[in-house]
Structure 1
């Protein structure tokens, strides 16, 4: 059966396909397709190697338009602006669902189209607002529905394989009722932002030789050993929370996301707690499976990323209840293992799940992302809208800004330059997504005490999203300082600038497979900053106030006064020195928590 599947159609799939195609009612039979979306070609490093097996199963996700999103966005700005009378008056799940829902006509005609291919309601999986619908189809049916041909593409550097196409079409009558269909043109590899430039494996820990203390930015004392090894104690000292005790029962929560088979190991967490947070020893977090995400506790399958996130995110906030979501969907698949499903839209799976919950942790960290240009704009925009919906509900969403400086860590070996994948092969900087989404808080990285920008801190300007008004003044102030002509043509000066904040990101001491070792990356910074946001939420809730919610309007309108400005360092990439840190906002770090201030 393997050879039949590789070269043609299995008997079962052939029967299924014939039933689906020839069951089409007259209303769609014979309708001509019109191009809906295309890309110039696969991104750098991806090569087509074979036609996709016809019975390979795809979870096809269809996004319907959100005609009321503008109204939701207006609510988001108002409830997130400290100067507005509605600040903190976050929306309910039901209110958000209503504002995200498609027009009934779109639902009706898309359902009719799906029925024309043999799908009834029992085979459709809908998002809470019904703005996404998911069906499971063999490639042969997807090709018929989308007027396209799928291929297996292989990534030369990693060996990853995915099933994709470079264009697809829809009956013209559907174009106003469907925003996008994926997986089709999305080639994102979706990687964790940890150590990717620095160590391929965990670096063993060694005893610190430093003694004494260092005076922090507000006169606070930090152990000198923190310049060699970052621990929970170091971060509490540096960001002035040593004497703050959270409340475990006031409703405050913190959440961390896990993808790509990254499993947070309980035994490693207990060993970490015994080493760094003794009071937390014996405690644990809540595990939630999304889309079949696993909770493998075999020590050999522990994930460096998952361990880092849970150990520091939950260690800094103990005893605040913590949740770890494991979302299934690993981009690569093995062409010979046709039982595996090829799902590479993990953000939409997680968003669909989390937006359907009534009780959501108020601060959430994600340490994964990819090159913005490998994610089709249509998909990036819709996922970004989902983060806006969470912000409107009072949830702070943090993302690592990336580990490639102004690039992606995958520059041309000969020239070190980075190139566009729009067919022009232009020399450009490579922004990252979802850090570039204007509805999330992107977290860059720092190193040492006093803090400077760490060399790999991702930062720059989005090519997809326009600069939001909340950062106009800050970003324009930075651009005015640049020497005229600096990196001209390499970045979009009118795009959303990132990161928004920064935190320590180097030499974090974790426990992995029973051993202590160091990791680095903005994957360290995001859960760290999120933990301190959670501490602030704890204080606010105790004072009878709302959670902070979407942070950026607050940060840029005055919240920066409660942060410590990073003014030294740079973030090289793409054969350049990148952007320099400076007074005020810069595309590398901006600000870190300031021990002299607390916003309650």
Structure 2
């Protein structure tokens, strides 16, 4: 059937077209796939892939300027977030680009009914057989295999476009992107299923960073009560009706089990027992309730995120996208990074339908995502920020590396063909338009050893963090890690929160988990509570947080000054006074933050 589709589409090639005889020119290429990928076999011609075509956004600098202004507490436009119509207009390509790309697609038999367009018309997605994609892109696709993870994808190392299209198309994917979108494997440490009994709070107390008393049991087991005590939010009650919402994302067939959620509520927040979240399925996503289908990641996110913020309404986005297929199984489709489908969906939503704070606990090594693609996706996150949404990402669990260092030397290497020894930043945490959340442990808090942090090789350092990062860099001994990181790159994480010994319910049992997958929904929950306070006071939501955090918000954070994040055969960076590349600006003090955001 697929072969017939391809042959039917190919008939269109005989029509007269200005692209006939037009010379193809290489648009993008990579010297080699990242370490660990091996070429398995030519991709079957009838295997279906989702080609995602990015059209230029000539007015993005104007949108970015709006973002800086509405996110800067010192600017007169602070909080004056843009509408969907306004951001769509700023992200829309020139009509000339839309027209010529339409003409090119039509020359290959792909008419409007075959296309899916983003809300701003800046992305076009088409599902085509590999054979047709190879004709369109003058390339050859192969199945690439990653033995260590047993994953396989369909990719190429170079693709071309007719020269006339180069100024009208930024990129086409999946082509040269070999990223491995990860959750449990990199941003969540799972200790295994075990029955855990909640420790009685009668075992004494510890003085927390806010000067208040925290149950001593919180040094061994993190619960909702512990986080509220530690981060000074005991007694704050959010509204169920003021319009505030919290959003959590799920990918890679991570399902949030409702029975586990109710058991968790009964143990840690009885008032929430019987409540539920709104499920939104995207791109074929589901939320399988078979007990064995429960996902540790999804359970962690929903239990702590919605448990901390109850009764604030919560939304869980389950985005589909088959996991990489087995080379000999040709049925599943091979797609792009799943968060791009989520972005298409969320950016198409009307004003008021998007949660004002959203957490994602997934990511890639930055170098496995082509820079052109990373920049495009990052700009989409900027659009969300301009619309008043706070977007948080886990900073990763590989310290300054990727958790995939050379077994013999423990060093990490570049994949640009030079095989240089370097630190490996993570993406989307490295995007300057999101808030990256690192991890801490214990009371008093120290940096947890796996907290992802460092400096982007793609994105330059944004001005909002110049002072903080320069101060950190001056504290490094001369020559420290010279050549291993980019001191001029966007630095992350921005903030942090507890990331170890979180007690969740999984498959009907209590168990411990750890990772920056814990810290991102935790920090996001406190941001949601801050939004609740502002909305109830008649103010706008916080939106993109970083300009606020680096200008004044840091004064209401708990500075973490101990610990480091080893990786790539080094001890990594050290936590220190002020911002650092392990814990960022620190962990939240809710009462201080609330007073500060209500004064803006």
Q: TM-score, normalised by structure 1?
A: 0.97
The CA deviation at 1:479 is 0.3
Q: Which residue of 1 aligns with 2:560?
A: 566
Question: Contact conserved, 1:193 with 1:402, CA < 8 A, in 2?
Answer: no
What does 1:530-545 correspond to in 2, within 5 Å?
Answer: 530-545=524-539
Describe the SS at the equivalent of 1:561: helix
Alpha carbons 1:238, 1:595 under 8 Å: kept? no
**Counterpart for residue 5 of structure 1:** none
Q: Does residue 254 of structure 2 align to residue 255 of structure 1?
A: no
In 2, the alpha carbon distance for the partners of 1:195 and 1:42 equals 20
- In structure 1, list runs of 5 or more residues that go unmatched: 2-9
SS in 1 for 2:592: coil
How many Å apart are 1:209 and its aligned residue? 8.1
Cα displacement string for residues 461-512 of structure 1 (whole angstroms, at most 9, x for unaligned residues): 0000000000000000000010000000000000000000000000000001
> Compared with structure 1, are the counterparts of its residues 20 and 295 closer, same or farther at alpha carbon in structure 2 (3 Å cutoff)?
farther
2:39–2:145 Cα contact (<8 Å) kept = yes
In structure 2, the partner of 1:285 is: 277
Deviations 1:351-370 (A, max 9, x none): 11000111110000000001
What displacement does 1:30 show? 1.8
- 1:481: which partner in 2? 475
Give the alignment partner of residue 544 of structure 2, picking from 538, 543, 550: 550
Q: Which range moved further: 190-199 or 309-318?
A: 190-199
The answer to whether 1:178 aligns with 2:173 is no
- Which residue of 2 is the match for residue 7 of structure 1? none
Cα-to-partner distance string for 1:440-459 (whole Å, 9 max, x where unaligned): 00000000011000000000
Quick check: 1:243 aligned with 2:235? Answer: yes
CA contact (8 A) 1:57 1:138 kept: yes
- The equivalent of 1:514 in structure 2 is 508
Shift of 1:344: 2.7
Assess if the C-alpha contact under 8 Å between 1:63 and 1:179 holds in 2: yes
User: Does the aligned pair in 1 maintain the 2:188–2:517 contact within 8 Å?
Assistant: no
The farther-off stretch of 344-353 and 266-275 is 344-353
SS of 2:544 mapped into structure 1: coil
Q: 1:255 to 1:595 in 2, by over 3 A?
A: closer
Q: Say yes or no: does 1:99 pair with 2:90.
A: yes
| Cα deviation code 1:373-408 (max 9, x no counterpart) | 000001100000000000000000000000000000
Task: Quote how far apart the aligned CAs of 1:32 are.
Answer: 1.1
Structure-1 separation of matches of 2:370 and 2:581: 23
Confirm whether residue 450 of structure 1 aligns to residue 441 of structure 2.
no
How far residue 594 of structure 1 moved from its aligned partner, in angstroms, is 2.1
Matched, 1:337 2:332: no
Of 485, 490, 494, the residue aligned with 1:496 is 490
Aligned to 1:420: 414
Going from structure 1 to structure 2, the CA distance change for 1:543 and 1:530 (only over 3 Å counts) comes to: same
Match of 2:57 among 57, 63, 66: 66
Structure 1 residue aligned with 2:212: 220
- Do 1:194 and 1:521's aligned partners in 2 also have CA atoms closer than 8 Å? no
> Residues 134-184 of structure 1, C-alpha deviation per residue, up to 9 Å, x if partnerless?
011000000000000000000121110000001100000000000000000
Report what 2:105 is aligned to.
Answer: 114
Distance 1:371 1:263 in 2: 24
Q: Which of 29, 39, 48 is 1:48 aligned to? A: 39
Q: Is the 8 A contact 1:466 1:494 kept in 2?
A: yes
Deviation at 1:292, TM superposition (A): 1.0
1:457 to 1:224, Cα distance in 2 relative to 1, 3 A: same
Structure 2 counterpart of 1:435? 429
Asked whether the 8 Å contact 1:193–1:521 carries over to 2, the reply is no
Of 590-599 and 527-536, more deviation after overlay is shown by: 590-599
Task: Give the alignment's Cα RMSD to 1 decimal.
Answer: 1.4
Cα distance in 1, alignment partners of residues 186 and 45 from structure 2: 38
Distance 1:536 1:44, change over 3 A: same
Aligned to 1:396, which of 390, 394, 399? 390
Aligned length: 591
Q: 1:27 aligns with which of 18, 28, 32?
A: 18
**Any idea what SS the aligned residue of 2:415 has?**
coil
Q: Which runs of 5+ in 2 are unaligned?
A: none
